[in-house]
Chain A
Amino acid sequence: DTEVTQTPKHLVMGMTNKKSLKCEQHMGHRAMYWYKQKAKKPPELMFVYSYEKLSINESVPSRFSPECPNSSLLNLHLHALQPEDSALYLCASSQQDRGSFGETQYFGPGTRLLVL
């Protein structure tokens, strides 16, 4: 089973709202990722968690706050977002086999976020 689930599927929020995106995997993967994808563009890496520790933050604004409560769960907390943050947010996971270039990232279906 290579399933990564994400909730919610769609989210509409105002600029003063606080919301959270949730990602879950039960494949025993130890690396989890958040990507942001604007329309007609490739995904852009935001954060990487390895063994529940933040290992990469691609200079993401602080209004995005990631959290990895355990090895199966990844959250993205959203606060005071801007309309330009509207995008598809994709979560992915991978085994985290150090030195393996064939390690595949498996993606969830994404959350379509609209900031008004």
Chain B
Amino acid sequence: AQKITQTQPGMFVQEKEAVTLDCTYDTSDQSYGLFWYKQPSSGEMIFLIYQGSYDEQNATEGRYSLNFQKARKSANLVISASQLGDSAMYFCAMREAVYTNFGNEKLTFGTGTRLTIIP
């Protein structure tokens, strides 16, 4: 079963509009972390925002906010006032408690959403 589902393969948004990228997840753990990364065509994965499962407030980082709905297991990324430079692939990812000798390292990615900002 998919642990992270991103249902929007591609989105086109007008510049300066807000955009919501969907992410739903599946876990039986009570403790987990959710991340969003941006990947421009250059290839580098850029960390955007993090939400912990016990965080009561939705995370915000500048123009990025995470709409966390725990009961629905959704962690949507909201980008306000989109810019041309926001055109990229966006990945939602989850860290679960994988117990190894050293801690919890596994990060599971969704299939991504390609966002294109139209001038």
User: What's the Cα separation between A64 and B54 when bound, in Å?
Assistant: 38
User: What's the Cα separation between A101 and B94 when bound, in Å?
Assistant: 9
**Which residues does chain A contribute within 8 Å of B110, judged by CB atoms?**
42
Q: Is the interface of B mostly helix, strand, loop or mixed?
A: loop
Contact A108 B103, beta carbon cutoff 8 Å: no
Q: Which of A72-116 contact B (CB under 8 A)?
A: 88, 90, 92, 94, 96-99, 101-110, 112
Q: Total interface residues on B, using CB and 8 Å? A: 29
**Which residues does chain B contribute within 8 Å of A94, judged by CB atoms?**
105
**Which residues does chain B contribute within 8 Å of A104, judged by CB atoms?**
35, 47, 50
**Which residues does chain B contribute within 8 Å of A99, judged by CB atoms?**
103-104
Q: Total interface residues on A, using CB and 8 Å? A: 33
**A residues engaging B (CB < 8 A)?**
2, 31, 33, 40-43, 45, 48, 50-51, 53, 55-56, 88, 90, 92, 94, 96-99, 101-110, 112
**B residues engaging A (CB < 8 A)?**
31-33, 35, 37, 42-47, 50, 52-53, 91, 95, 97, 100-107, 109-112
